Amino acid sequence: MPELSYREAVRDALSQAMRNDEDVFIMGEDIAEMGGSMGVTQGMLEEFGPDRVRNTPISEMAIVGSGIGAAIQGMRPVVEVMYEDFLTISMEQIVNQAAKHRYMSGGQLKVPLTIRTQGGAGWSPGAQHAQQVEAWFVGVPGLKVVFASTPSDVRGLLWSAIYDDNPVIFFEHRTLYGLKEELAEEIEPIPIGQARVHRQGEDVTVVATGRLVHEALAAAEEAGQQGVSVEVVDPRTLQPLDEDAIVASVKKTNRCVVAHEAVTRMGFGAEVAAVVQHQAFDWLDAPVERVGAKFTPLPFAPVMEEYVVPHATDVLEAIQKTVQRDGSS
Amino acid sequence: MAQTLRVPGSHELRRVIGDGEAIPDGEVEGLEERDLLELYRSMVLLRTYDERSVVFHRQGRVGTYAIFWNHEAMQAGSAYALERGDWIFPSYRESAIGLLRGMPVSTVLSWWRGHPSGWWNPLDYNVASICVPIGTHVPHAAGLAWGKKLRGESGCAIAYFGDGATSEGSFHEGANFAGVMRAPLILFCNNNQWAISTPLAAQTAAETLADKAVGYGIPGVRVDGGDVLAVFEATREAVARARAGDGPTFIEAVSYRTAPHATADDPRAYIDLERVEEEKARECLGRYEAYLQRAGVLSDELAEATRAEAAEALRSGIAAAEAEPPADVALLFEHAYAAPPASFAAELAELRELLDG
Ligand SMILES: Cc1ncc(C[n+]2csc(CCOP(=O)(O)OP(=O)(O)O)c2C)c(N)n1
Ligand SMILES: [Mg+2]
């Protein structure tokens, strides 16, 4: 089994789909000769040529919009928006168009478009260059939202996204590209809408996404040494959300922490907390704790950025808060 | 008001500086020796800032840095045609243009160091903050310029952006707005022929970027971006037009990006290295120096003294930037709103507890 990085796993899914299927192509800024700003598509121009690995002008609206045009004709485009901050520029195409075409055509049109993007803190590029904006999209009916945290997940989910007949926004986290894992040659598709239990535990469930999955796993190790057994669940797909998996886990552990890098307030974690309190109210021994970024724009200063976004220590602290509360009273 | 718009593709590159051989040197009316040397000082300061910044980056003293080597003529030439009250909207490529308005070197270095003392007050210098998303500031500049017109002020605004930025909707909408409102705006395109790895030919099918001006009903000019005097002259005309109420001008300054896009970029995968070497050989500062020498304006001693002065400004600038005390974490919550919401106090208290504990 070859060892693939998260970056190579994304490339592998794209390449295998393109070898398999003439309808799949990729386009975006600087993805051809340069192989993308994160090196994800390196070497693909040589294999597939400029018609299928399309370098575009700097036009995020047209990148997504023309992807919609291709998709309604039966193609399966995978478009790349270089930084998720710049999804803002393609927002009309995503929210009003890609998400609504099927509905507004009475189900007759489909938009099998995948929008890949990446972002995240950890390299201190400032307020307009490292945001985590996945929560802006989960509330848009018609869209699917994926956020994968490991090489196997990113490969299997990207495959499913490409072959999903709905528009999918596919988030990658910048700091994960180097992460390695042994993967089988053959891609095993991972169904969209299925959570993954990374680690079994008895006392607390941590529902984490993206980079925070790894922070949660580190926190779980630490908690284990303190005698607290932590289960880590990665929803992997934020929309649709695998509520059953989350609720089942919380019914087992009776405590829940939600962790993501995006801001805590008004964040995706609030939805998870609502689902948990509604479906597992009688099982909860403590309020659901939320871990996320402080509610302020990302600072440019490296030390300051560290303070704003959450780390394993923040997850550990939240775990401790939930167990310190005595559920028997 | 009648305007003659050029036929697409017909724009010739304006130049003033000759090549010391077949092409004779020209002159810019009204520029005196003092002005010529001021332009020279500006270019040397920018060049020195840029070269030192690349070194500072390698030494870990500034973060990722957008190199502007060979762009100094465009920046210095255009800025010199403005008055202090005119607004500058830079892109990251013009990060140090504030130096030409008296901004301390340490301020710009601090900006790239991610230190709060790098926040210049745009209102002090009439130099706007830099936006990361490409082209996004063009409408800001259009709005500010339009406002000047509505208030009956004579000031104007200049927006700097790259060739790649002309593909963004915000460029198009901003330019169109300014055209319709006849806003006193100079759209200054630094056409260095690359947008990271994307060459101009992959950015537009237009023969020249200046052709786009036709569609906005505004004049488009093409100028040799390596010729500081031609840039100055073209900008001065655009400023005069703006002040006269005749609306915006699009200036396409044609140059070449000889350096990587930024310190984090490795252009070897896409760029034509031979061409880079050719362009380096005719870089803008050397061309201007040769011009000044031919004109008998610049002696070796003066050139040496000017460079030494700039080197000293950088030496003391980095020292001052590095002497800044570390920022207090309270800053994280101080500037997001005019009046911080209650949640900020709670989060700050939490943070302080964490840092003290
Ligand atoms: C909206 C947006 N899309 C993409 C990027 C990524 N990006 C940063 S610089 C750049 C190239 C810009 O090229 P150009 O406008 O020619 O300016 P230059 O860098 O050559 O000065 C790109 C695509 C960005 N910053 N903003
Ligand atoms: Mg450019």
* Interchain proximity A89–B170, CB inside 8 Å: yes
In a domain, A315, yes or no: yes
B275 in catalytic set = no
One domain, residues A159 and A221: no
The CA distance from A29 to B165, in Å, is: 12
One domain, residues A169 and A227: no
* Interchain proximity A29–B135, CB inside 8 Å: no
Classify residue B146 by burial, with Cβ atoms within 10 Å: 0-12, 13-18, 19+.
buried
Q: How many C-beta atoms lie closer than 10 Å to residue A225's C-beta?
A: 7
| pLDDT for B351 | 84
| pLDDT for A153 | 98
Residues B348-352 have a mean pLDDT of: 87
Asked whether A58 lines ligand 1 (CB < 6 A), one says yes
**CATH number of A154's domain:** 3.40.50.970
* Interchain proximity B332–A299, CB inside 8 Å: yes
Q: How many C-beta atoms lie closer than 10 Å to residue B188's C-beta?
A: 30
Chain A residues touching B326 at Cβ < 8 A:
303
A47 in catalytic set = no
| Catalytic option among B71, B115, B236, B257 | B257
The CA distance from B172 to B169, in Å, is: 5
Distance B166 CA to ligand 2 centre (A): 10
What mean pLDDT is reported for chain B? 95
Q: How many C-beta atoms lie closer than 10 Å to residue B37's C-beta?
A: 15
One domain, residues A265 and A230: yes
One domain, residues A227 and A174: no
The CA distance from B159 to B139, in Å, is: 9
Asked whether A62 lines ligand 1 (CB < 6 A), one says no
Note whether B255 and B278 are within 8 A (CB): no
A263 in contact with chain B, both atoms CB, cutoff 8 A: no
Which A residues in the span 39-98 are in contact with B, Cβ-Cβ below 8 Å?
55, 57-61, 85-86, 88-89
Three state DSSP letters for chain A: CCEEEHHHHHHHHHHHHHHHCCCEEEEECCCCCCCCCCCCCCCHHHHHCCCCEEECCCCHHHHHHHHHHHHCCCCEEEEEECCHHHHHHHHHHHHHHHCCHHHHCCCCCCCCCEEEEEECCCCCCCCCCCCCCHHHCCCCCCCEEEECCCHHHHHHHHHHHHCCCCCEEEEEEHHHCCCEEECCCCCCCCCCCCCEEEECCCCEEEEECCHHHHHHHHHHHHHHHCCCCEEEEECCEEECCCHHHHHHHHHHHCCEEEEEEEECCCCHHHHHHHHHHHHCHHHCCCCCEEEEECCCCCCCCHHHHHHHCCCHHHHHHHHHHHHHCCCCC
* Interchain proximity B202–A58, CB inside 8 Å: no
Closest atom of ligand 1 to CA, residue A129? 25
| pLDDT for B6 | 56
Distance B165 CA to ligand 1 centre (A): 7
One domain, residues A43 and A105: yes
| pLDDT for B10 | 64
List, for residues B89-105, the tens digit of each pLDDT value: 999 999 999 999 999 99
Please tell me which of the candidates A57, A301, A308 has its beta carbon nearest to residue B114.
Answer: A301
DSSP lists the bridge partners of residue A293 as A263
Residue where one domain finishes, among candidates A151, A182, A213: A182
Which B residues in the span 177-216 are in contact with A, Cβ-Cβ below 8 Å?
195-198, 202-204
The CA distance from B174 to B186, in Å, is: 11
One domain, residues A12 and A99: yes
What are the tokens at B351? 């943070």
List, for residues B21-43, the tens digit of each pLDDT value: 999 999 999 999 999 999 999 99
Place of tokens 């000769």: A33
* Interchain proximity B164–A265, CB inside 8 Å: no
Banded pLDDT at B5 (limits 50, 70, 90): low
In a domain, A224, yes or no: yes
**CATH number of A319's domain:** 3.40.50.920
In a domain, A37, yes or no: yes
Chain B residues touching A55 at Cβ < 8 A:
197-198, 202
List, for residues B316-343, the tens digit of each pLDDT value: 999 999 999 998 888 888 888 999 888 8
Q: To which CATH superfamily is domain B33-326 assigned?
A: Thiamin diphosphate (ThDP)-binding fold, Pyr/PP domains (3.40.50.970)
Banded pLDDT at B310 (limits 50, 70, 90): very high
Closest atom of ligand 1 to CA, residue B257? 20
Chain A residues touching B170 at Cβ < 8 A:
89
- Give the residue, out of B93, B134, B200, with the most ligand 1 atoms within 8 A of its beta carbon, to mutate for a pocket test: B134
What are the tokens at A37? 């700003």
List, for residues A146-205, the tens digit of each pLDDT value: 999 999 999 999 999 999 999 999 999 999 999 999 999 999 999 999 999 999 999 999
Closest atom of ligand 1 to CA, residue B203? 16
Q: Please name which ligand lies nearest the alpha carbon of A83.
A: 1
Note whether A202 and A191 are within 8 A (CB): no
One domain, residues A125 and A251: no
DSSP lists the bridge partners of residue B159 as B89, B187
The pTM of the full predicted model, rounded to 2 decimals, is 0.96
Q: Which residues of A160-172 are buried (b: 16+ CB within 10 A; e: fewer)?
A: bbbbbebbbbbbb
Note whether A144 and A164 are within 8 A (CB): yes
In a domain, A312, yes or no: yes
In a domain, A110, yes or no: yes
| pLDDT for B216 | 98
In a domain, A15, yes or no: yes
Asked whether B194 lines ligand 1 (CB < 6 A), one says yes
* Interchain proximity A88–B115, CB inside 8 Å: no
Chain A residues touching B332 at Cβ < 8 A:
294, 296, 299, 304, 307-308
One domain, residues A176 and A203: no
Q: Which residues of B320-332 are buried (b: 16+ CB within 10 A; e: fewer)?
A: bbeeeeebebeeb
| pLDDT for B330 | 87
* Interchain proximity B347–A57, CB inside 8 Å: no
* pLDDT greater than 70 at residue A12: yes
The CA distance from A273 to A270, in Å, is: 5
B132 in contact with chain A, both atoms CB, cutoff 8 A: yes
Sequence spans of domains, chain B: 33-326, 329-357
B172 in catalytic set = no
**Looking at the 3D structure of chain A, how many domains does it have?**
2
Please tell me which of the candidates A58, A128, A301 has its beta carbon nearest to residue B167.
Answer: A58
Asked whether B196 lines ligand 1 (CB < 6 A), one says yes
Residue where one domain finishes, among candidates A182, A216, A234: A182
Instruction: Please provide the distance, in angstroms rounded to a whole number, between the alpha carbons at the two ends of chain B.
Output: 70
In a domain, A329, yes or no: no
Domain that holds residue A170: 3-182
Backbone angles phi, psi at B190, to 5 degrees: -85, 95
Torsion angle, alpha carbons of A187, A190, A195, A198, to 10? -10
One domain, residues A223 and A138: no
Note whether A240 and A196 are within 8 A (CB): no
Q: Which of A153, A69, A83 has the alpha carbon at shortest distance from A113? A: A69
One domain, residues A262 and A167: no
One domain, residues A160 and A128: yes
Residue where one domain finishes, among candidates A114, A148, A182: A182
